[in-house]
Structure 1
Amino acid sequence: MVEQFGLTTKQAKARILGECRASEIREAAIAAAGDAFAGAYFDSTTNQLVVAVTSTAVFDAVRATGAVPVLVSTSYAELEHSLHVLDTRTAPPPTVTGWRIVEDENTIVVDVVGGPTQNVKTFVAGIAHVTVHYNQPPVETTADLVGGMPIFGSARCSLGFTARNAAGVVYVITAGHCTNLGGTWSGPAGPIGPVAGTSFPTNDYGRIQRTNTAWVPTSKIQGGSSVLGKTVAAAGTTVCRSGSTTGFKCGTIQAMNQTVCYSQGCVYQMTRTNVCGEPGDSGGPYVSSTRQAQGILSGGNGNCTSGGTTFFQPINEVLSVYGLTLVIGP
């Protein structure tokens, strides 16, 4: 609150106490208002819960709960009825982006991108207690880019790490045998962006440019903790990986600088582990026990039932080749 709202420490403490009290008495205050209830909201200037009502007859009952009553014209039940009527109508996309009850204004607000149109007028026609807010920004879904989550192109792979270039452009790093397929890749919440570089065989890495800003870059690893850096771990130490097929699995680093020869050709300077993996885990991240990014899954043998061997493409080479900086946590 001190940093975000510009409050002093004393003001922040008073506000927290006020918000705590408001939460504690809210249900009782609503019950005291009865059918006259018209909304309840916290007033940050007085640090008190305000309860809107349509009758002064309930003022004393509301005050007895610790809340401050104010008189308004429209009950919450009436606002809610109008809201539900809007819910049954088809909003004209992408013009109308949402509607809600605003309790401290005793109205329903409809948010609209741009100015008045006939479509908007038709959408709100005949509904009481509506205020239209024009020229509002468009809305979009947001989702975290998380290491180990599934990504989809012409096949399913796993997201490795998220990184940025010097200009701030965000990229997803994954396996090259995935990005070799080209095209636009998506996550569970929608499109991420197109392939913007790939190398396989010889190497096994690629990058996908995040062009859909609804995806938020993070240092998170699915099933594990966020990564703190990219210091290379020693052979014999613990390493864990996350994948969209088998989840979070751990083992040890068995060797570095291994050449691995697939049917498509050989890949050089790989790291060998006894962490299991299965199809769909490709491209997923490996992290050390000290939460340092190590690499992305290339391939291997066996499975997560009987065990096996997997190889990863070290992440530092990928970052260096593409001139990227890893997104790191806390």
Structure 2
Amino acid sequence: MVTQAAMASETPATSAVPDDAAQSVAGTGVNLVKKLGTSRTAGTWIGSDGRPVVAVTDEKTAATVREAGAEAKVVGHSMNELKSATATLRSAPRVPGTAWVMDYKSNQIVVRGDKTVSAAEWSDLTKVASGIGSFVRMERTSGTFTTRLNGAQPILSTGGRCSAGFNVTNGSSDFILTAGHCGPNGSAWFADNQADRQVGQTVNSTFPGSDFSLVEYASGDAGQGADIVAIGDGNGVRITGVGDAAVGQRVFRSGSTTGLRDGEVTGLDATVNYPEGTVSGLIETNVCAESGDSGGPMFSEGIALGITSGGSGDCTAGGTTYFQPVTKALAQLGVQLIVAAPSDIAQNGASPAPSGGAQPSSSPSESSVAPGAATPGSTTPVTGGVDGATLVSRLTDPRNVGPGLLVIAGSLVALAATRYIRAEQDRKAYQRYYSATWG
């Protein structure tokens, strides 16, 4: 189920930031990769000192990288070879429970299989990998690769329980950007146990392939705190821009089940073969997540980066979580992120942005912040809760509702709302399908 993560105690001035005005966190490294080409480079990441590192295939290219102020690492395989390897994997028979990603730091393709993959399937996939070359690394992983459904917030849709990502607009109406697997077009979203308070309806959904959707507010207006994502303990982070994630970057994720968690981007352009279908182009991280965190926002230094898709593991043992890049979703949906106005950024201790549009509160350039020093962004109180506020923070803060009450609330929602969603037979089939949680 989706719960709204953008809220505040008073109405801040907000604005939409167009994609071309947003700055990318990839910075110098990505610019060098674009300039030098995929036949001479093999990706870029952020080093432990915050400097960009570029993988290159020869010493001449390495010298060019060093002259530009970045660190160079000579590797044996170009980006073209890595992409060719992933294309071969995609052309092989699809095996649910598997995923692969380019590991720029090791210059390898890492193929992972969860516990649902049989020995025979894993053997067949290993043969495909062996035919590609020794730079394809096979790894078994604990748990199962699943989308993040059946969480604990009392808001119901046809797709299950999720978290909202970011508030966006097309200039005339406002929407919640969340995961596509949370519900297909026409899914209704509710904000109360009686299923008579409708938040909105899914008007555009893409899954599988990609994993994003738009929920249009019933009122057409995101309301108060549209530029804030709740992070628990009555606090939120102001979202000031949108960008692309970089390998090695420290990132933060907020969800309705597990609250604020952090970790590192470990790969880009990942492919995950969920039971429901294959999703490509994802951001791979070692941030933990659990059921109900689907669709929640990932960000760093106030810059929107991704929305939670799925993964394996939990926040006790750890795991791998994949995110849909926000930039790609915005471009395909034709919407813009709602961000904090410059005056609000300045009031919260960040440097004021130039007039003429909202800008990131901190420099999102790849070399500006070492991974360990990165923060979620400028924080602000989230203390709403009165009628008229936009799904105030109590709906996104898991500590506000006890575990027992969450179970009861979820049951009440299921009983009260499913009569609006599907017939009894379909409801039973749906419950059986989504009854499994993460392994």
TM value normalised by structure 2: 0.39
Report the equivalent of 1:14. Answer: none
Matching residue of 2:336: 325
User: What is the root-mean-square deviation in Å for CA atoms of aligned residues?
Assistant: 2.1
Picking from 169, 183, 194, the partner of 2:173 is 169
2:286 corresponds, among 238, 259, 274, to 274
Partner of 2:356: none
Decide which structure has greater strand share.
1
Q: CA deviation at 1:188?
A: 5.3
* Shift in CA distance, 171/215, structure 1 to aligned 2, threshold 3 Å: closer
Counterpart position of 1:230: 242
Instruction: Name the aligned partner's letter for residue 300 of structure 1.
Output: G
In structure 2, distance between residues paired with 1:256 and 1:165: 28
**1:298 corresponds to which residue?**
309
Aligned CA distance change for structure 1 residues 181 and 164 (closer, same or farther; 3 Å):
closer
Matched residue SS, 2:241 = coil
2:257 is matched with which residue: 220, 245, 256? 245
Q: Deviations over 1:65-110 (max 9, x none)?
A: xxxxxxxxxxxxxxxxxxxxxxxxxxxxxxxxxxxxxxxxxxxxxx
Match of 1:187 among 191, 194, 199: 191
Contact 2:240/2:303, CA 8 A, preserved across alignment: yes
Superposed displacement of residue 181, structure 1 = 7.1
Could you list the structure 1 runs, at least 4 aligned residues long, displaced by more than 3 angstroms after superposition.
Answer: 187-190
| Residue 194 of structure 1, CA deviation | 1.0
Question: What's the CA shift for 1:174?
Answer: 0.5
Is the 2:163–2:292 Cα contact (8 Å) retained in structure 1?
Answer: yes
Q: Deviations over 1:231-270 (max 9, x none)?
A: 2232101111111111111101110111111111110100
For residues 29-68 of structure 1, the aligned pairs below 5 Å read none
Alignment check: 8 A CA contact 1:150 1:244 kept: no
CA separation in 2, counterparts of 1:160 and 1:150?
A: 17
Q: Which runs of 5+ in 1 are unaligned?
A: 1-148
Unaligned runs of 5+ in 2: 1-152, 346-439
Of 199, 205, 213 in structure 2, the residue corresponding to residue 206 of structure 1 is 213
CA–CA separation in structure 2 for the residues paired with 1:228 and 1:221? 11
Q: Which protein is bigger by CA-based radius of gyration?
A: 1
Counterpart Cα distance in 1 of 2:275 and 2:163: 21
CA drift of 1:221 comes to 1.1
Q: For 1:322 and 1:258, locate their aligned partners in 2 and report how far apart those are by CA, in whole Å.
A: 21
Question: Could you tell me how far apart the structure 2 residues matched to 1:263 and 1:214 are?
Answer: 35
What residue identity is the alignment partner of 1:191?
Answer: Q
Letter matched to residue 311 of structure 1: Y
**Following the alignment from structure 2 to structure 1, what is the Cα–Cα distance between the partners of residues 270 and 253?**
18
Shift of 1:201: 0.5
Q: 1:150 Cα shift?
A: 7.1
Give me the whole-angstrom Cα distance separating, in 1, the residues matched to 2:155 and 2:256: 8
Of structures 1 and 2, the one scoring higher in RCO (CA 8 A, sep 6+) is 2
Secondary structure class of the residue paired with 1:202 = coil
1:221 aligns with 2:229: yes
Q: Which residue does the alignment assign to 2:296?
A: 284
Change (3 A) 1:287 1:247: same
- Shift of residue 183 of structure 1? 2.2
User: Is 1:159 aligned to residue 157 of structure 2?
Assistant: no
Native 8 Å contact 2:309 2:322 kept in 1: yes
Secondary structure of residue in 1 paired with 2:331: helix
Residue 254 of structure 1 corresponds to which residue in structure 2?
266
Is the 2:245–2:283 Cα contact (8 Å) retained in structure 1?
Answer: no
The C-alpha deviation readout for 1:204-232, integer Å capped at 9, x for no partner, is 11111112357516111111411110022
* Deviates further, 232-241 or 173-182: 173-182
Quick check: 1:316 aligned with 2:320? no
CA change 1:208–1:266 in 2 (3 A) is: same
Q: One-letter code of the match for 1:207?
A: L
Quote the sequence identity (%).
38
Where 2:312 maps in the other structure, the secondary structure is strand
- Counterpart of 2:227 in 1: which secondary structure? strand
Alignment of 1:101-180 (within 5 A): 151-154=155-158, 155-166=160-171, 168-180=172-184
Number of residues paired by the alignment? 181
**Conservation of the 8 A alpha-carbon contact between 2:210 and 2:280:** yes
So what's the TM-score if we normalise by structure 1?
0.52
